Every structure is written in structure tokens, then in C-alpha cells.
Structure 1
């Protein structure tokens, strides 16, 4: 069995890891105002999305051009500060998102390489296991990765689950291309 091309060949030293984590800590120190909102709280809020950027910018222009029509309690300077912060953080976020995507792809590539190597070792050891009991025991443990429990036969009297596709070979939602169906690692969806 010919092994496919190695996608990544790299190693991190303890010093690399420490320096990287230190730099990440320095970034967080430079941005001490960053917050983490619970998902439930975010769902209850009305936040600016891509479609609202122009609306918010026009509102800021209106607040700056016609302050006489705003209530005295309206904090125009805070509004402008928020809009500027959004713009500035978006630039930083783009760089961080690009880095995160590279980290995810590198982890994925290394996991592909590791699975290919593991499958190759498994194939070699299967043959050796015919002559060596210790190898045979290891191969038996490795085989569990691919063992699938038999499913119970469907009850013909039970109505079909509307959430499940009629044909399991044709799911209602397409799989992400290149995932191979049953990946060992799960990366964030795009």
C-alpha cells in the first residue's frame, strides 16, 4: 500500500510553544477591554451585522450632523467610539481569523498524515500478527477503531422519524467536501 504525500512535516519545541502563548497573552494585555458574552445573552441582543453597517454609519453621520435633534442624555461620543472600535477590531480579527484557519488546516493535515501512517502500520502488523501473539493482541485493539456496532433492525410498526432522511445514503444536508465522512477530528464549520 503506497502512502500518500505527507501534507505537513514540522515540530514545535517547548520554547516555540511558550513564546507563542506569551505573544497571545501580550495581545490580550494590549486589548484588556475584550469581553466574552454567553451565547444565550448574545441571542437576546440586537447586534449590528454585515447588512447593518451602512445603517449604523448613516446614523453616526446623522448624530454628528444634527445633534440638536438628539436627547441631551444620548451619548454621541460613546456611539462614535463604538463604531470606530468595530472598524479597528475587524482589521485585527481578519488577521487572527487567517491565523486560526492556518492552525486548523495544519492540525487537519497532520491528522491526515497520522491516520495514513497508522493505517500503514496496521496493515504491516496484521501480517506480523499471524506469527506473533503480542502483535496479534495489539492488532485486535487497533481493529476496534473500525468496528461498528450492529444496529437493531427497524421496528416496522414505528412511524418514520421526520428528522431523518428517507434514504440514509442520501442525507438531507450534504457533507462538507473533503471530510471523508467520519473524520477523527472535528473542525469548526465555515
Structure 2
């Protein structure tokens, strides 16, 4: 594939389109820190994800059945495949003419590159997931604190309808008695 970028995120000239990555402030007090993500930053990140997808037009979606039917390429199988490639590169006259050594070599190289990308994406995904949980917890704790204060303030009619609506979150459904179980129709 001819699409690639140099260290600063711009195209290296092998592609007709130029990709420019935004620069984000790196200090924790910046508006793009984990404590705040602006709508513009979110849109920029989603745009970058789209650009990544564009760089990988050969990505495939596999069903659960397809995944089960495929041979896995774990660490041991990757080492094995690498050793086979070494043997082929030294002496390949035992292979049928239909065997495409170049494609085999390209597949291994692409697998290695994609594995590196996958590792980085998994690390990023784990960080985004953990941060989402932490910030969501903080927001919910703040909501509970504000709700308790509003409930205790006794502000009267001005807050009553809103408080009743919010109280529905904590309403419990009454348990059905055994004699009230719904009939199951067959």
C-alpha cells in the first residue's frame, strides 16, 4: 500500500492525499485532558479514526462462524511460519509452481504490522474504557450529591415536579406474589 505518513503525520508523498494530524496540548491541565473532551476534539478524533480506516481498505469483518473455522496465528504459529519462510528462501524447489512465495512473505509482514497496530489500539481502547468508567462514576456521584441536596433543601413547588421525576430512578417495582404470576400461553 502506498499510503504512509512520516513522523510528523503528513503524507510522505506516496499518496495523492495529504493527511495532517492535529497537535493536542500534552499537559494535564489542557482542555483536552482526560477531565474534559470538547465536542471539537471528539469530532477530530472520530475523523482520525475514519482516516485510519481509509488507510486500511483491506480490513475484513468476520462472523463468529468464520472465526471458528479459521486457523489461528498465535505466537507459536507465527514462529513456525517464520521458520518455514526461512526454509523457502534458502531452497524452494520442493514447492509446487502455484505456491506464491512473495504473497506468503507479504502476508507474514502484514500480519506483523497489523499485530503491532492491534496492540496499540487495544491499549488505547483499554485507556478510553477505564477513563469513561472513572469519569462516568464521578459524574454520577455528583448527580447523587446534587439530588440529595435538592431533596433536603425543601424548595417547595419549584423543585417538586423535577424531584418526582428524578425519584423514579430509585423507585422499586413491587414483587409479584406467587398467586399473581402471569399465565404462560403455549
The TM-score normalised by the length of structure 1 is: 0.65
- Structure 2 residue 99 is the aligned partner of structure 1 residue 99: no
Q: Report the CA distance between 1:23 and its aligned residue.
A: 2.0
Pairs aligned (count): 146
Q: Report the CA distance between 1:148 and its aligned residue.
A: 4.0
Task: Tell me the secondary structure at the aligned position of residue 69 of structure 1.
Answer: coil
Aligned to 2:38: 12
- Structure 2 residue 162 is the aligned partner of structure 1 residue 138: yes
Task: Tell me the secondary structure at the aligned position of residue 170 of structure 2.
Answer: coil
Unmatched runs of 5 consecutive residues or more in structure 1: 1-7, 155-190
Deviates more, 1:91-100 or 1:106-115: 91-100
Query: 1:97-136 maps to which residues of 2 (within 5 A)?
Result: 97-128=122-153, 130-136=154-160
Counterpart CA distance in 2 for 1:51 and 1:121 is 55
Deviations 1:16-60 (A, max 9, x none): 233222222222222222222222221221121233222222222
Aligned CA RMSD, in angstroms, stands at 2.5
Counterpart CA distance in 2 for 1:96 and 1:67 is 37
Query: 1:35-184 maps to which residues of 2 (within 5 A)?
Result: 35-128=60-153, 130-151=154-175
Counterpart CA distance in 2 for 1:82 and 1:43 is 20
Higher relative contact order (CA 8 A, sep 6+): 1
Task: Tell me the secondary structure at the aligned position of residue 35 of structure 1.
Answer: coil
The TM-score normalised by the length of structure 2 is: 0.66
Q: Structure 2 vs 1, CA of residues 153 and 43 (structure 1 numbering), >3 Å: closer, same or farther?
A: farther
Q: Report the CA distance between 1:134 and its aligned residue.
A: 4.8
Q: Structure 2 vs 1, CA of residues 138 and 51 (structure 1 numbering), >3 Å: closer, same or farther?
A: farther
